[in-house]
Amino acid sequence: MRRLPVERDSLYRDLIAQCDQEPAQQVIAGQVWSLVQTDHAAGLAVSACLPLRETHGTAFRLSGWPLIKLAELSLSWNGREAAIGSAAICAASNAPERYAGADEANGKDLLLQKAVGRKVGLVGHFPWADEIRAVAGSLSVFEQRPHDGDLPEQAEEYLLPRLDVVAITGSALVNKTLPRLLELAGGAWVMVIGPSTPLSVVLFDYGVDALSGCVVRDPEELAEIVCEGGGVQEFRSAVRFVTLCKP
């Protein structure tokens, strides 16, 4: 008898459930990144993953909302709301007491080790794709807006089940593609990587083997850069990159 897939939103419900009532001190819906900060942590999520309406549908003055309430916005199909909700999930997940066991390291280095001689897929066009290609047996890059040599996202349905190693951009959490991508890559070693990645062990229950995200080092600098529309290169000094592996 064929087993029905898990409800797609269960991954989001489980991530939301791990959030608490700590109030957000600052909520920024930036042009490139969204940021939610509390007294103890901060979470980022890429803003440009879903079509952005002129504004979000929720009330303004989101600062002061509890993280769990903000995290529920991750289920929204409004792009700005989804980014804020995902950033709230990352703020809850990436608090120091939550990511015990994580190594201060860029996940790319672990991925390079796993990729040697294997059939590798990257969901997202990462700047270090050529480094992976140099060691992998083969490399497929899937992208919503394909660069030269990339495959369109439609190819994921056909090719992801055939791969040995798959790295998925954390922005897949924001645009709602992560649950399906994890289903398709069920036979592979899987990493979710990027600043939008929540360092939550919840994802290990959904087939993820490693999480590579970032935690805040300088909240004020990070907030200023996000407000000004900066990207990863600009806020690199304001965060620490860490990798958490499934036990």
pLDDT surpassing 70 at residue 59 = no
Q: How confident is the model at residue 106 (pLDDT cuts 50, 70, 90)?
A: confident
Instruction: Considering only CA atoms, give the Rg of the chain.
Output: 17
Grade residue 96 by pLDDT with cuts at 50, 70 and 90. Answer: confident
pLDDT at 147: 86
Tokens representing residue 163 in the block: 């791969």
Whether 87 has a pLDDT exceeding 50, the answer reads yes
Tell me the pLDDT tens digit for each residue of 149-200: 999 999 999 999 999 999 999 999 999 999 999 999 999 999 999 999 999 9
Q: What's the pLDDT score for residue 56?
A: 55
Q: Please report the DSSP string for 212-247 in residue order.
A: EEEEES-HHHHHHHHHTT--HHHHGGGEEEEEEE--
How confident is the model over 1-13, as pLDDT tens digits?
Answer: 233 345 778 999 9
Residue 163: per-residue pLDDT? 98
* Prediction pTM value: 0.92
- Could you tell me the maximum CA-CA distance found in the chain, to the nearest angstrom? 55
pLDDT for 52:
53
Arithmetic mean of pLDDT over the chain: 90
CA distances to 40, 41, 72, 111, 175 from 23, in Å: 10, 11, 14, 35, 25
Confidence band (pLDDT; 50, 70, 90) for 51? Answer: low
What is residue 101's DSSP assignment?
A: T
- At 244, the amino acid letter reads L
Pairing of the two strands 42-46 and 33-37: antiparallel
